[in-house]
Amino acid sequence: MKRPIPAEIKVEPTREAESEETAELRVLLEQLQAELEKERKAKDKLEEELARLKAENQRLKALVSEKASPEDGHLRFPVEKISLGFLTGGADWDEKEGDDGLIVFLHPQDREDDTIKRAGKVRFELFDLTQEEVVVMGWDFTAEEAIKNWRNFPTGYQFKLPWKGSPPTASELILKATFTDLDGKDFIATKRIRVRLASE
Q: How far is CA 90 from CA 62, 101, 122, 124, in A?
A: 39, 6, 19, 14
Residues 6+ apart with CB under 8 A from 85: 104, 105, 106, 107, 154, 156
Could you check whether the bond before residue 154 is cis, i.e. omega within 30 degrees of 0?
yes
What's the rounded Cα separation, in Å, for the pair 94 and 92? 6
What's the rounded Cα separation, in Å, for the pair 94 and 87? 19
Per-residue confidence in pLDDT tens, the chain, 200 aa: 555 655 555 556 566 666 777 888 888 888 888 888 888 888 888 888 888 888 877 777 666 555 555 555 555 678 999 999 999 999 999 888 899 999 999 999 999 999 999 999 999 999 998 876 688 999 999 999 999 999 998 899 999 999 998 899 899 999 999 999 999 999 999 999 999 998 75
